Amino acid sequence: MKNTFTLIESGIRDVALGENVTIVAPCNLYECTIGEDSFIGPFTEIQKNVVIGERCKVQSHSFICSLVTIGNDCFIGHGVMFVNDLFKKGGPSGNPAEWQKTVIGHHVSIGSNATILPVRICDAAVIGAGAVVTRDITEPGVYAGNPARKIRWCI
């Protein structure tokens, strides 16, 4: 029996980069936009139709799927996962028309290993490590848990 496979190399292609962007290889970035003075850590995937603002830091092992917009001055911790497919039919949808957008405001910090479903997060929110954001966050504060709930105001 002959094994067959398709090898798709990871890398950086068709990325619109602002001035002074730092990318630590290896990464898989394609058809996305990254604003000036931003940092992208290693082992990160940023898919097409993602927009990352200026002065953002995306730490290692994070996955930012299609249709995510991140504002300026944001921090994305290690291993943060963004989701755009809610498996509404019991499994993954191969149809991008069924995927949903996520919008992250300015000055948002998302702690390591958080999972962000298709939501809107307002400016100046802090998402705790390991939190699962299942609903829109409409007022600044610190959010933690599964599902994420506001635990206090920002200082």
10 located within any domain: no
Give CA torsion, residues 112, 11, 52, 49, to 10 deg: -110
Q: Are strands 141-144 and 149-152 parallel, antiparallel or unpaired?
A: antiparallel
Give the residue numbers spanning the domain of 114: 15-152
67 located within any domain: yes
pLDDT at 155: 61
- Averaged pLDDT in 10-residue chunks for the chain of 155 residues: 80 96 96 98 97 98 98 98 89 86 98 98 98 97 97 81
9 located within any domain: no
pLDDT at 53: 98
Beta bridge partners of 102: 68
Total domains in the chain come to 1
pLDDT at 3: 82
Structure tokens belonging to residue 146: 């599964």
pLDDT at 10: 81
pLDDT at 7: 80
Backbone angle region of 96, left / alpha / beta, with phi > 0 → left and psi within -120 to 50 → alpha: alpha
CATH code for the domain in which residue 48 is found: 2.160.10.10
2 located within any domain: no
56 located within any domain: yes
97 located within any domain: yes
Number of CB atoms found within 10 A of residue 33's CB: 15
6 located within any domain: no
Beta strands in 53-152 (DSSP E): 57-58, 63-64, 68-70, 75-76, 81-82, 102-104, 109-110, 115-116, 120-121, 125-127, 132-133, 141-144, 149-152
